[in-house]
Structure 1
């Protein structure tokens, strides 16, 4: 039987055998023809991958004739039988060097047993997938730096009944003193600027409607005049448009709020009675009457409603870029976390960036962003172990942050821990960087269609690789040509595209370019089954 094994027409798919994910899967089909498999014969067959220095056996399959004892697959003498076999073994790096897939068989008939010579089925392993590049996109946690901050200083002027004159006592209040201090600071410091004054003014609701509306306007003007006079004393110019008066008339809502917050025993009844009046003038008359009965309304509630509320808007300008560059390295303790994170972006040199981010972690140790950004910078410097420690610190401080999880997952993938990468990506929020990184992981997992979908329009070597592995050599070549990448690996992938497209001249042109840029690729090219039909083009 072994002498006519060709009659079984065994076919291996794919051939050469390929790496996909972290496994090598083979699919063997064939057919025992009629009157081929003797009735009392048993055969055990084991596909084995053999390479220099190692071998890996796939699952053994058993066949037996119709009169043989055993539990193998029965093959009819009269009709024969079709064969369909699929199995997988874990991939090992040595498999890609001059490996072959062979079939080892042993048989028995009665008391006679014996091993047959191995039959070579296919070349293997074509490990193009392991050309995946460590080009994951690590993400800097952004700063919220604002060089110019806007603030508001609040100030209240209270008035006597039906008066719009600012009382002398108001100028002794703490809020007026604070406003004066602000204006003095604005006058002396270039970094502080008053940019606007907005006054909302009110009258208490026991006066006539027309009178209250006019009174509110006069109170707004008097408040603005008091502020403008002080600004003038400090020689601070403010455009008229920046000085706004916003009279509100009677403050009925403020009255209700004050009543509810008071200790007046009948406050709920009083409010229900007053709310029955749809005529505002009648309601105001009733408030006057009630105030005569309840002294707290007359003495506390109504006086507080006769007011102007002034909002002085001012800006404070932060340090210049030059100051931030100097302070972030020499006086980092004086800077906020936002200033330090922004200052790091002002440097081009990775060592300077790292120093500033490390200063950030020292001064603001509880902010995850400094640790995360230390990790990203260390990755750019090729210091993966230290980057992992920094990402770990960031994760401890903010395990739910999508940026951190993206970076943790990307590093895990580069370290070969696909499960950890997938777990981290599952906790990360959606972003273009995360999507791309999931694509790189998908290549390593052998899911090339998903990789292409995840990577979007990124014209990278990894997207081209995913297209090659997904049997789209033309699309891969277009991606590489549009990438602007002139590296040795780009040329090597172009050579693979040419080989798959049966372009012998393209193989030679691109492999020559790849080896000129990186001679160490020669050893790989010599054994790479992508070029099995192009040895002459390789000059090997």
Structure 2
């Protein structure tokens, strides 16, 4: 089949004029939006507002209309074919009356970044009448293609390191218990010979020579057994608290701990009758009638009646007087102290000399906070893997460093290992980064959504996916926590040119070739020639590859014949 060229004439919009010998078609008008055609996501979308003029299509004719992108190397890609027919023509198609007809045509094709960057949009017209197929007509250019600006998206996916739970200062307690005879509050000498007193004295001696232990306070809770009178037992508990304090002051004095001899070091808390302790001891016993005794201890509303009942039970059940009540007549003295962990300097020293002696939290803290060198961080995270092989954080953080070192395959294996140990959103985010960088956009989007609680990094990464899907408004919303080139690109694609410039200027790419090139594109799109010229010069001076790129970039098409532009790119 032969192909003939059909010249186009501009009449406010671009008008096609057909060869005089063609009696089936007359004039056809096209307006293409946008022009040049733009790639968004992985597609190029075409919209044509067209018109058959009066008597533009023979009443018995049918025409196939196929827009086609033709690249500078001759390769082609066709959009969908639309069918039009005259009023008396057989077959399927949109009917074009004698008076003419306006129509809207929409289609899209898949296109890769850079593909058809130097192309032209033309239209193939194939007229038919009955069984007769006429020569195919190829129009002149009706639009240019293709702008690939979304393809400027940089790879700056954000992997996340797991935080440590390192606490340098921890709170601890140690203490002793002094027991008393019934109705008494004096501390017997044999009580001070009990093992818990001996252990406390040994601990106190060691603590006074340990600079990492800071003793804070002694709290004394004193009790009476509940078979006596309430008021008497309240006073007895108070007296026992004071006698317990006196005993502890003497211990501190003998040890030479001056702070422990001061009143302010003590918090006395007399509790009176210990009903809660009674219930606890009875419940732990194996006495067959323990539930009867517990029910009395749990009586509410009439304390005098409860006391009377427990006295009666004490006569009935001798084990209460022999085994239970003596344990309730006591002062519990608890020393609170802070234990200071290793200093930063000590952590760094241990990290070199004996890293496997550090805890998982100390290793993660040291690597996360105290070390800058990536190789040293990696070494410490790998030690952490050995120290805590079931902790996902260590495996994840090894992968995190490997990503920063551009070892994606190794990092991927580490993230998968972490996923086998846990399901934290951080792991989801990091696996999403791997998926996106491998081109699996759908999987990446799924993982980023699952990992959104990992922090703003996951939202940013989801924004990168949304740029690829041409969901620019959502991308801008998700990427806003980071001032990056990609945020600037997303804002530009979303129509916010001022915001785009501000984001690029605030990013690390502000003075790079890429940063200047995008600002030149924005200048061209907004008609700001000075902005376009200044930034394009800077981009070319920093990267010579920007010269041929700009020469073919349809973003600059209206400047292709501009002398200043030509001087820069030729």
Tell me what 2:38 maps to.
Answer: 18
Shift in CA distance, 203/397, structure 1 to aligned 2, threshold 3 Å:
same
3-state SS, counterpart of residue 134 of structure 2: strand
Alignment of 1:117 onto 2:138: yes
Matches of 1:445 and 1:99 in 2, distance apart?
Answer: 23
Matches of 1:181 and 1:85 in 2, distance apart?
Answer: 92
Tell me what 2:22 maps to.
Answer: none
Alignment of 1:486 onto 2:511: yes
Instruction: Confirm or deny: 8 A CA contact 2:16 2:139 kept in the other structure.
Output: no
**How far does the alpha carbon of each residue in 1:410-457 deviate from its partner, in whole angstroms, 9 at most, with x for none?**
332233321111110121143322222222221111011111222235
Tell me what 1:49 maps to.
Answer: 69
Matches of 1:178 and 1:65 in 2, distance apart?
Answer: 108
Alignment of 1:428-447 (within 5 A): 428-430=451-453, 431-447=455-471
Matches of 1:207 and 1:235 in 2, distance apart?
Answer: 39
- Once superposed, what is the RMSD of the aligned Cα atoms? 2.5
Partner residue of 2:474 out of 406, 426, 450: 450
For structure 1, which segment, 320-329 or 24-33, has the greater mean C-alpha deviation from structure 2 after superposition? 320-329
Tell me what 1:302 maps to.
Answer: 325
Q: CA deviation at 1:520?
A: 2.7
Alignment of 1:236 onto 2:257: yes
Partner residue of 1:358 out of 368, 377, 382: 382
Tell me what 1:104 maps to.
Answer: 124
Shift in CA distance, 82/155, structure 1 to aligned 2, threshold 3 Å:
farther
Partner residue of 2:187 out of 143, 153, 166: 166
Matches of 2:6 and 2:432 in 1, distance apart?
Answer: 51
Instruction: Confirm or deny: 8 A CA contact 2:460 2:478 kept in the other structure.
Output: yes
Q: TM-score, normalised by structure 1?
A: 0.92
Matches of 1:327 and 1:270 in 2, distance apart?
Answer: 57
For structure 1, which segment, 502-511 or 474-483, has the greater mean C-alpha deviation from structure 2 after superposition? 474-483
Matches of 1:275 and 1:384 in 2, distance apart?
Answer: 65
Q: CA deviation at 1:175?
A: 3.5
Matches of 2:296 and 2:430 in 1, distance apart?
Answer: 65
Q: CA deviation at 1:366?
A: 1.4
Shift in CA distance, 97/153, structure 1 to aligned 2, threshold 3 Å:
same
For structure 1, which segment, 447-456 or 113-122, has the greater mean C-alpha deviation from structure 2 after superposition? 113-122
Tell me what 1:38 maps to.
Answer: 58
Alignment of 1:509 onto 2:520: no
Tell me what 2:23 maps to.
Answer: none
Q: CA deviation at 1:12?
A: 1.8
Tell me what 1:82 maps to.
Answer: 102
Alignment of 1:61 onto 2:85: no
Instruction: Confirm or deny: 8 A CA contact 1:260 1:267 kept in the other structure.
Output: yes
Shift in CA distance, 94/457, structure 1 to aligned 2, threshold 3 Å:
closer
Q: CA deviation at 1:273?
A: 5.6
Partner residue of 1:533 out of 529, 541, 558: 558
Shift in CA distance, 413/242, structure 1 to aligned 2, threshold 3 Å:
farther
Matches of 1:273 and 1:373 in 2, distance apart?
Answer: 58
Partner residue of 1:475 out of 496, 499, 503: 499
Matches of 1:276 and 1:107 in 2, distance apart?
Answer: 103
Q: CA deviation at 1:208?
A: 2.2
Tell me what 2:354 maps to.
Answer: 331
Unaligned runs of 5+ in 1: none
Alignment of 1:524 onto 2:545: no
Matches of 1:276 and 1:457 in 2, distance apart?
Answer: 60
Unaligned runs of 5+ in 2: 8-14, 18-26
For structure 1, which segment, 58-67 or 228-237, has the greater mean C-alpha deviation from structure 2 after superposition? 228-237
Instruction: Confirm or deny: 8 A CA contact 1:50 1:95 kept in the other structure.
Output: no
Instruction: Confirm or deny: 8 A CA contact 2:462 2:478 kept in the other structure.
Output: yes
**How far does the alpha carbon of each residue in 1:458-481 deviate from its partner, in whole angstroms, 9 at most, with x for none?**
432122111211222223223334
Instruction: Confirm or deny: 8 A CA contact 1:185 1:192 kept in the other structure.
Output: no
Instruction: Confirm or deny: 8 A CA contact 1:21 1:443 kept in the other structure.
Output: yes
Q: CA deviation at 1:260?
A: 4.2
3-state SS, counterpart of residue 10 of structure 1: strand
Shift in CA distance, 478/247, structure 1 to aligned 2, threshold 3 Å:
same
Shift in CA distance, 270/90, structure 1 to aligned 2, threshold 3 Å:
same
Tell me what 2:372 maps to.
Answer: 348
Matches of 1:406 and 1:182 in 2, distance apart?
Answer: 48
Alignment of 1:425 onto 2:448: yes
Q: CA deviation at 1:126?
A: 0.5
For structure 1, which segment, 143-152 or 39-48, has the greater mean C-alpha deviation from structure 2 after superposition? 39-48
**How far does the alpha carbon of each residue in 1:111-131 deviate from its partner, in whole angstroms, 9 at most, with x for none?**
243211244222111011011
Instruction: Confirm or deny: 8 A CA contact 1:51 1:99 kept in the other structure.
Output: yes
Q: TM-score, normalised by structure 2?
A: 0.88
Instruction: Confirm or deny: 8 A CA contact 1:376 1:387 kept in the other structure.
Output: yes
Q: CA deviation at 1:46?
A: 2.0
Instruction: Confirm or deny: 8 A CA contact 2:59 2:86 kept in the other structure.
Output: yes
Partner residue of 1:389 out of 413, 417, 436: 413
Instruction: Confirm or deny: 8 A CA contact 1:337 1:360 kept in the other structure.
Output: yes
Tell me what 2:235 maps to.
Answer: 214
Aligned residues: 538
Matches of 1:126 and 1:490 in 2, distance apart?
Answer: 18
Instruction: Confirm or deny: 8 A CA contact 1:47 1:57 kept in the other structure.
Output: yes
Shift in CA distance, 448/216, structure 1 to aligned 2, threshold 3 Å:
same
3-state SS, counterpart of residue 470 of structure 2: coil
